[in-house]
Amino acid sequence: MFIFPFALTGVSAWGQQHCVGRYCVTLSERELTAEAGLCVVIPCSFTNADEFKPQHVVWYKCEAAKHSCSETDIIFHSNKNTDKKAQAAFEGRVSRLETDVSQKNCSIIINDLKESDSGSYQLRVTGERNEQQDGFTFSQRVTVSVKGIKQKPTVMIPTLTEGQQATLTCTAPGLCSGSVPEITWTWRGAGGTESYITGNSTDFKTENLMGFTQRHISTLTFKSSAEQHNTTVTCKIRFTGETTTEETSTLKVNCEFFYSLIVFVFLIY
């Protein structure tokens, strides 16, 4: 396995090509910070000598102190027929943003992040040169730090009027393509007791925004009542690995008579 210590082209050490001869890689970020339960994208592109035909992309994760990651550190291998398997903890969680290696895009997305995913990530490209199997490993790496989740769901509440149907919307944080999160609604009345709204209905949907991004949304539909005024509703998101985040909002319910009076006065004038 060849390890290429980089010679830098350009002013900045990051966001520029790092080259040895005609083999170059561009890593946009040296350090990336992400949150547990969500995802992280490692932007990456490469170029190579004309006589080298790239076939597969391999990513490793190991301790920064190691001079070079080894085969036991593989987290992703685009060759599904190889006996060099990815670490079990990363199985099914890592995907390329571009599956055609000839496009020279080596970017990956890691979903369902855990704090244990923190570490140093290294790239290797394999292929043929002069009709012989060959490959090169870039010594430049990206450090990923995964912290506890801080982002909260987004809760949208329309104007609530006594006796009328209303729909609350809760959108999970992150635009990831990993496991679908569990979204639940909890009601808390004036006495502080948690309960569920009677006669309510919930709906869940996933919107595919791009090939590797999704938005997860839950809606809660119910008939507003005066008893719900100044009570709270909580939307809780549970990601893989028991990572949770929630947002609590206070409901303000307009009196039906007062609301109708306002509308009537508005129409008169």
Structure tokens at 234: 């909580």
- Per-residue pLDDT, 263: 45
> Are residues 236 and 244 in contact, defined by beta-carbon separation less than 8 angstroms?
yes
Range name among 1-5, 70-74, 250-254 with the lowest pLDDT average:
1-5
Three-state DSSP class for 89?
Answer: helix
Closest CA to 236 of 193, 181, 199, 189: 181
Residue 210 has pLDDT above 80, yes or no: no
Whole-number mean pLDDT of the chain? 86
Phi, psi torsion values for 259, nearest 5 degrees = -65, -40
Structure confidence by residue, pLDDT tens digits, 26-49 = 998 899 999 999 999 999 999 999
With cut-offs at 50, 70 and 90, classify the pLDDT of residue 255: confident
Higher pLDDT among residues 205 and 144, named by residue: 144
Measure the CA–CA gap between 183 and 217, rounded to whole angstroms: 8
Q: What is the pLDDT of residue 5?
A: 34
- Going from the C-alpha of 101 to that of each of 24, 127, 168, 236, the distances in angstroms are 15, 10, 44, 40
The pLDDT, as a whole number, for residue 199 is: 63
pLDDT given at position 261? 47
Tokens of 166: 């209303």
Domains of the chain (ranges, CATH numbers): 2-147 (2.60.40.10), 154-254 (2.60.40.10)
Identify the weakest region by mean pLDDT among 11-20, 26-35, 51-60.
11-20
Flag whether pLDDT at 248 surpasses 50: yes
Q: What is the pLDDT of residue 197?
A: 64
Write down the residue that tokens 């809780």 correspond to. Answer: 236
Cα–Cα dist 199/222, whole Å: 6
pLDDT of 78 strictly over 70:
yes
Q: How far is Cα 242 from Cα 6, in angstroms, rounded to an integer?
A: 40
d(CA 56, CA 206): 31
Q: Are 75 and 87 in contact (CB under 8 A)?
A: yes
Q: Is 213 helix (H, G, I), strand (E, B) or coil?
A: strand
| pLDDT for 50 beyond 90 | yes
Identify the residue with better confidence: 263 or 39: 39
pLDDT exceeds cutoff 50 at 11: no
What is residue 1's predicted lDDT score, i.e. its pLDDT? 39
Tell me: pLDDT of 7 over 50. Answer: no
pLDDT tier, 257 (very low <50, low <70, confident <90, very high otherwise): low
Q: What is the pLDDT of residues 96-126, one digit of tens each?
A: 999 999 999 999 999 999 999 999 999 999 9
Q: What is the mean predicted confidence (pLDDT) over 10-21? A: 63
% of the chain at pLDDT higher than 90: 65
